[in-house]
Structure 1
Amino acid sequence: MPADDPKRPDPEALLAAAVKAGRGRLKVFLGMAPGVGKTYEMLRAARRRKADGQDVLIGLVETHGRRETESLLRGMDVLPRKPIDHRGHVMMEFDLDTALARRPALLLVDEYAHSNAPGSRHPKRWQDVEELLAAGIDIWTTLNVQHLESLVDVVQRITGVRQRETVPDSALSRADAIELIDITPEELRDRLGEGKVYVPETARLASENFFKVENLTALRELALRRAAQTVDDQLVAAMREKGVEGPWAAGERILVLVGGDAMASGLVRAGRRLSDMMMDAPWTVTHVDRLDQPARGPAAAARLRDALKLAEQLGGSTVVLSGADIVATVMAYARRNNVTQIVIGKSADSRWRELLGRSLAAALLREARGAAIHVVTEATHEAVVEVPARRPRVDWTAYLLAAGCVAAATVVAWGLDVAFDRVDLGMIFLAAVLAAGVLRGLRPALAAATVAFLVYNYMFLEPRHSFAIGTPTDFLTLVVFWAVALAAGGLAGRVRDQGRDAQRRASAVSALLAASRTFSAAAGREAAAKALAEQTAAAVGAKAVVLLPANGELQPAAGAPTLEELDAAPMAAARWAWERGEAAGFGTGTLPQTRWTFWPLEGVRSRAGVAGVEAGAMVAGSEDERLLLALLEQGAVALERAELATEAVETETLRRADRFRSALLNSISHDLRTPLSTVLGASSTLIDYGKGMTAAVRDDLLLSIREEAERLNRYVGNLLDMTRLEGGALRLRTDWTDVRDVLGAAAERVSRRLETRILARDFPVELSLVRADSSLLEQAVVNILENAIAYSQDGARIEMAAYEDRSNVVISIEDEGRGIPTAELEQVFEKFRRMEEPTDRHQGAGLGLSISKGFVDAMGGRIAAASPIHDGKGTRILISLPKAIATPHHLL
């Protein structure tokens, strides 16, 4: 690309910028420790913004009693704090909702890592900041470096203090600006001694522990490094967004180029050492996968795989690039990522390659503008003997096809030569060479070019039927023809090979996409294991097995095409892969005599299982192996996701059980103890003072005992009924039932509890029978009637009616109580759901309507509530029971 051509911005950088377009901007004032002046500097900058006319709001600032900081708050708009009651203590916290409603241009929220009080919308203040940024509000905040999540262990080793309040590094990485507030450790200790950080007693203890000079020096270095890293990341992002190519030596970035030779691991270690010398500069190990080159041998593939793995173990990142030109591909990546140092290896190149400048080192030196090239030479000249697993078979049919193309061209050229004079027969042979290249690739095209050159010279150039060349013009024509034939055939073959390689890669991507969809549809761990085994077997064309941990042991969980029993040797290899996290079995250094190869399935959090493939299914380092490893990565994540889903279900079940247990204990503590207390009190009174009481008083006490005992019996019955429903132990005894009889029996059972209330009945003369369990239906109606009595005033009317439509018999129970709020209609049939206001039953267990719904659902019916029904009051409960045979309209 010419130097004056415009550079294209990175699409991912543009996408990231588009995502940020609607968000507010975040600025972080970063310091090494408390007391360096972060809040003070933030407030000073905010006052300057306010003086410029900008809408600045102090959302929350912690002054810690420092007079200089408090003075900067005068004249500023300060958001009142929100009181939150937690266990009897009122805590004043940041008012997120008011800040969102106020929507200032700039909002100051101090202490980015602060943990909010229980009951707040978010547990952490940085999550409050994320919501504010999403609303388009600019935020300024403060942070000490020891609160970064990735530095918690480092800070603990330095200071002996483990930080409990942390911020994810990703939250800081998303900051649009970072300002380092830095003073020397001596100045900070002076401020501490002057009481500008803590009160005197606390300051003395802090000076002897956390605020030691060596601790502060180490924290200062961490803060400087983290600020420099953030600024460097912002520089790279800006360069990608604007399409600016580097390198800009604002910060060192190292790129190590490795291949499949014996120097690969040494180059990785050299890159690590160079990073150490450059103060932990970011470094990346890369390999260029040549599209026009055959697949690597197994030994080269293994060395490359080991080198990339070593890079990750040493703290570097890895990337595999694809391109036909190594130099152009490497330099494009280096400029795009602001690489300043490139490390390459130099083997024993031939003298001619060095003189012609065709060695990799020479080519990179010509193209590297602004980047330093580090050349690492071989430590030994011993050749590495590479024994291929199998010699590639020559496809003779391709060469026969190429010969056929040349033969066809010869026949056509002979016919044209006989029929016409002065025909350019060389074009006929060029067409044959192109056809061979397009149809069968590069090497057959080169062979066709050579044969065509010889045939054209022998049959059509003077002297004919001789390989001798008659004139200099014919010689020049033959040389040009041969060169053009080689170039055209070679290009055609290369295009075909690249197209075939692209098709193979597209097939691999399609296979991974299909596998991803299959894994996403897997409902559980067993289904995910089965899907992984099937996809693996289809990808490599051999048997596959997936083993998962169960009861502390690794056991086969799925196989394709069938799940086979594994004998002792394969199981030993599988356990090795599971315990060590390394491949084992055929083709590896561990138990290679087995007929299976096993790989650990590494998930995001932990190891999910082991996958195995039958021996000899693929060549190490081949496209098939790369596809398999990608499938295993997806399968590991799918297994882990299925396991997490199972854990989530179990957690939700436990949560519901805990809620049920808590509600049950609350019910027992109130609804059972209250009637028991009444019974005990009345019976004790009768025993102690019964002889001196009048008959009326004794009767009243006995009546209280009976009523409370009946009430207790109802609660216990409800709990037992709910237990039967929850445990699936409910047994129906259905029979043809007249609903009117059931309603009459239910009314009789609640008659004593009606007191002055009126229970009206509205039954038709005739009513169709339904298949139902009369005892369960009666209990359901009793629960509804008791609920109506509980929430109705004395003297109120309760109406119980029955009617039928074409398909159902309907029971309607209405009361004149205060009704059910519309928002609670859908929850009224849930367990332990009660109205907040007390009733004549106090508050009840909240199980009656839930049990009624369970009974009605078990009988195939439906239950619903409507409220209010008249004058903004009242509730109607409807029970619909299906008929066995629908009634014609004219009979209703």
Structure 2
Amino acid sequence: MENKDKLPINEPITIWDKEQRGHLKIFIGYAPGVGKTYTMLTEGNRRKKYGQDVVIGYVESHNRTETDDQIGDLEIIPLKKVLYNKTEMDEMDTESIIAKKPQVVLIDELAHTNAPGSKNKKRYMDVEEILNQGINVITTLNIQHLESLNDVVYQITGIKVKETIPDYIVDKADEIVVVDLTPDALQNRLNRGKIYDPEKVTHALKNFFRKVNLNALRELTLRQTAEEVDEELSEYMKKEGIRDNWHTAERITVCISAGPSSKKLIRRGARIAKRYKCEWYVITVTCTNRFAKKQSLKDRQLLHTHFQLAKQLGAEVATLEGKSVTEEIVKWCNEKHITQIFIGYPRRTLFELIFRGSTVSKLIKKLNNVDIHLIANEVK
């Protein structure tokens, strides 16, 4: 009888068993020369000093003296020869690393494309094999090699990066450390011949190493890693049941209705979000309470128009539903760790205020760590 669950031969399997898989640490930078390889080697020497079995799987020093000096007495696994078109190419020997089974292996240039004829097309695939054998990996990466940022990097630099890695490799990393250097300091290193040979410096400064490029790539790197840290913090808070807002990053929610003043609220939220360069949301709550006013076709059309404006200005939009408008907003704020709410001045009738109370007053009582901005309605 045929076993339908049997995997096809040579089907690649990625194992993410935290107990068996090695620990992945990535030193990430925004350009060549910021010090990623140097820092990786320094980390390797530090671990060796404290008794760990550390080897170098691959290192590319680019003949930089300071980097070469950092290799020190770290054991280097010899590279293997790959024959392609009658030419021998040096590549990392993944099989020898796995056979030796060190505690830690240092592997430079994670986004490298292996020579044709290698077992794996990309070096990150070799790294996955090594991690799956329980070996810890410390590696290096430049931000421009992330697949999701390929178009953004091209827009900034005018250079199409061909060697990329899937984002999940970084997402699954256990540690990400930014190796940072100011653009001025990096250009100084370039001028002193610390990155490229002197004859290449002028060309580099006019192209990739222009200050405007370096500033943009540096900000991109810092933002990307901040998002990774923010996701880890959110997961930790969720796991530990922490509902308080720690204000590590601003997150804005604009609460709207079908009223004409909602456009004013959305624009205000967009300006504040731009100032903080943060995530922001535009939400509306459909109240299912039997005393609540039902939405008309015109109301739904207006809300659709408001949401279109919000999306154009960069917001994420959502429609919530529940018997209590207040409770739905509170739940939303706790789940998204919202720090600021923008809401219009309540337009409830005296009857509604007496029997249902003020949404704003309830929010103030229930959201102690959220700043609530009450925005006046537009005068018709």
TM above 0.5: yes
Q: Which residue of 1 aligns with 2:348?
A: 349
Matched, 1:216 2:249: no
SS in 1 for 2:71: coil
Cα offsets for 1:293-312 (capped at 9, x unmatched): 58643333333344445444
Alpha-carbon distance in structure 2 between the residues aligned to 1:135 and 1:308? 49
Q: Distance in 2 between matches of 1:332 and 1:132?
A: 43
- The answer to whether structure 1 residue 284 and structure 2 residue 281 are counterparts is yes
Contact 1:246–1:337 under 8 Å retained in 2: no
Distance in structure 2 (CA, Å) of the matches to 1:22 and 1:336? 32
8 Å contact kept, 1:39–1:110: yes
- How far 1:132 moved relative to its partner? 3.5
Mark the CA change 1:352 to 1:239 in structure 2 (over 3 Å): closer, same or farther: same
**How far apart, CA to CA, are the structure 2 residues paired with 1:201 and 1:180?**
29
Q: Which of these residues, 115, 118, 137, is aligned with residue 117 of structure 1?
A: 115
Whole-Å separation in 1 of the counterparts to 2:256 and 2:124 = 41
| Inter-partner Cα distance in structure 2 for 1:227 and 1:203 | 29
Alpha-carbon deviation of 1:322?
4.1
1:246-277 C-alpha deviation (Å, 9 max, x unpaired): 31111111223334444445444433222111
Residue matched to 1:165: 163
Residue 155 of structure 1: aligned partner: 153
Identity of aligned residues (%): 39
Structure 1 stretches lacking a partner, 5+ long:
1-17, 382-892
CA distance in structure 2 between the partners assigned to 1:22 and 1:335 by the alignment: 34
How far apart are the structure 2 equivalents of 1:21 and 1:301? 51
SS in 1 for 2:78: coil
> How far 1:104 sits from its partner (Å)?
3.0
Q: Does residue 1:203 correspond to 2:201, yes or no?
A: yes
Task: Name which of structure 1's ranges 263-272 and 180-189 shifts more when overlaid on structure 2.
Answer: 263-272
RCO higher in 1 or 2 (8 Å CA, sep ≥ 6)?
2
- 1:345–1:163 Cα change, 3 Å: same
Letter in 2 for 1:297: S
Kindly state the Cα deviation for residue 245 of structure 1 after the two structures are TM-superposed: 1.3
The alpha carbon displacement at 1:20 in A equals: 4.4
When residues 236 and 258 of structure 1 are mapped into structure 2, their CA distance, relative to the original with a 3 A threshold, is same
1:604-619 equivalences in 2 (<5 Å): none
Q: Secondary structure at the match of 1:363?
A: helix
Task: Mark the CA change 1:290 to 1:132 in structure 2 (over 3 Å): closer, same or farther.
Answer: farther
What is residue 258 of structure 1 aligned with on the other side?
A: 256
**Residue type of the partner of 1:227?**
T
Measured in 1, the distance between the counterparts of 2:323 and 2:316 equals 23
Q: Is the 8 A contact 1:252 1:278 kept in 2?
A: yes
2:337 is paired with a residue of what secondary structure?
coil
Partner of 1:219: helix, strand, or coil? Answer: helix
- Write the distance in 1 (CA, Å) between the matches of 2:165 and 2:24: 14
User: Is the alpha carbon distance of 1:106 and 1:365 closer, same or farther for their aligned partners in structure 2, counting shifts above 3 Å?
Assistant: same
Instruction: Give the corresponding residue for 1:375.
Output: 374
Q: Who is 1:270 aligned against?
A: 268
Shift of 1:62: 1.0
CA distance in 1, matches of 2:284, 2:17: 32
Q: For residue 375 of structure 1, give the secondary structure of its aligned residue in structure 2.
A: strand
Rounded to whole Å, the distance in 2 between the matches of 1:265 and 1:114 is 49
Residue identity in the other structure for 1:256: V
SS in 2 for 1:28: strand
Q: Which stretch shifts more, 190-199 or 132-141?
A: 132-141
Give the Cα separation in 2 of the matches to 1:342 and 1:66. 52
**Aligned residue in 2 for 1:359:** 358
Contact 1:357 1:363 in 2 (8 A): no
CA distance in 2, matches of 1:156, 1:186: 22
Partner of 2:52: 54
In the alignment, the residues of structure 1 paired with residue 60 and residue 17 of structure 2 have an alpha-carbon distance, to the nearest angstrom, of 32
**2:110 aligned counterpart, secondary structure:** coil
2-structure distance, mates of 1:122, 1:378: 62
Contact kept? 1:288, 1:326, Cα under 8 Å:
yes
Change (3 A) 1:264 1:22: farther
2-structure distance, mates of 1:164, 1:251: 33
Contact in 2 for aligned 1:246/1:336 (Cα 8 Å): no
Structure 1 residues 104, 333: CA separation in 2 closer, same or farther (over 3 Å shift)?
Answer: farther
Question: What secondary structure is seen at the aligned counterpart in 1 of 2:21?
Answer: coil
Counting only pairs closer than 5 Å after superposition, residues 803-842 of structure 1 correspond to structure 2 as none
Residues 360 and 57 of structure 1: CA distance in aligned 2, closer, same or farther (over 3 Å): same
Could you tell me which amino acid in structure 2 is paired with residue 368 of structure 1? L
* 2:97 paired residue number: 99
Distance, in Å, in 2 between the alignment partners of 1:178 and 1:345 is: 41
CA contact (8 A) 1:110 1:141 kept: yes
**Partners of 1:113 and 1:165 within 8 A in 2:** yes
Distance of 1:19 and 1:380 partners within structure 2: 60
- The alpha-carbon distance between structure 1 residues 374 and 168, as it changes in their structure 2 partners (threshold 3 A), is farther
Tell me the residue number matched to 2:70: 72
1:143 corresponds to: 141
Match of 2:236 in 1: 238
Considering only aligned residues, what root-mean-square deviation do their CA atoms show, in Å? Answer: 2.8
Deviations 1:755-783 (CA, angstroms, capped at 9, x unpaired): xxxxxxxxxxxxxxxxxxxxxxxxxxxxx
1:353–1:284 distance in 2 versus 1, CA, 3 Å: same
Aligned-residue offset at 1:43: 1.0
| 1:54 positional shift | 1.9
**Partner residue in 1 for 2:125:** 127
From the two aligned structures, give the one with the greater helix fraction. 1
Return the alpha-carbon distance in structure 1 between the equivalents of residues 262 and 249 of structure 2.
26
Rounded to whole Å, the distance in 2 between the matches of 1:101 and 1:288 is: 59
Pick one of 25, 30, 33 that aligns with 1:32.
Answer: 30
2-structure distance, mates of 1:223, 1:305: 35
Q: How does 1:533-552 map to 2 (within 5 A)?
A: none
1:72 aligned counterpart, secondary structure: helix
Structure 1's 216 and 354: CA in aligned 2 closer, same or farther, altered over 3 A? Answer: same
Summarize the alignment of residues 842-857 of structure 1 with structure 2, pairs less than 5 Å apart: none
Q: 1:208 to 1:245 in 2, by over 3 A?
A: same
Distance 1:212 1:375 in 2: 45
The verdict on how the C-alpha distance between 1:66 and 1:184 changes in structure 2, with shifts beyond 3 A counting, is same
Q: 1:56 to 1:348 in 2, by over 3 A?
A: same
C-alpha distance in 2 between matches for 1:311 and 1:303 = 12
Assess, with a 3 A threshold, how the Cα gap between structure 1 residues 291 and 75 changes in structure 2: closer, same or farther: farther
Deviation at 1:353, TM superposition (A): 5.8
Long gaps (5+) in structure 2: 1-15
Check conservation: 1:260, 1:304, Cα contact below 8 A. Answer: yes
Q: CA 1:102 to 1:273, structure 2 compared with 1: closer, same or farther past 3 Å? A: farther
- AA partner of residue 361 (structure 2): A
The answer as to whether partners of 2:339 and 2:371 remain within 8 angstroms in 1 is yes
On the 8 A contact 1:246/1:339 being kept in 2, the answer is no
Contact persistence 2:285–2:322 (CA under 8 A):
yes
Q: Contact 1:189–1:211 at 8 Å: present in 2 too?
A: yes
Q: Is the 8 A contact 1:39 1:61 kept in 2?
A: yes
Cα 1:21–1:301 shift into 2, 3 Å: farther
Q: Deviations over 1:296-352 (max 9, x none)?
A: 433333333444454444433334444333323322332233221222233433457
User: 1:92-149, CA deviations, whole angstroms, 9 ceiling, x for partnerless residues?
Assistant: 1222333334433322221122222223333332333334334443322212222233
1:340 maps to 339
- Could you report, residue by residue, the CA deviation over 1:614-666 in whole angstroms, capped at 9, with x for unpaired residues? xxxxxxxxxxxxxxxxxxxxxxxxxxxxxxxxxxxxxxxxxxxxxxxxxxxxx
> Aligned-pair distance for 1:282?
1.3
* Residue 7 (structure 2) aligns with: none
Q: CA-to-partner distance for each residue in 1:544-566, whole Å, 9 max, x for gaps?
A: xxxxxxxxxxxxxxxxxxxxxxx
The answer to whether the Cα contact below 8 Å between 1:113 and 1:147 also exists between their aligned partners in 2 is yes
Alignment-derived partner of residue 9 in structure 2:
none
Partner of 1:672: none
Between the aligned partners of 1:36 and 1:25, the Cα distance in structure 2 is: 24
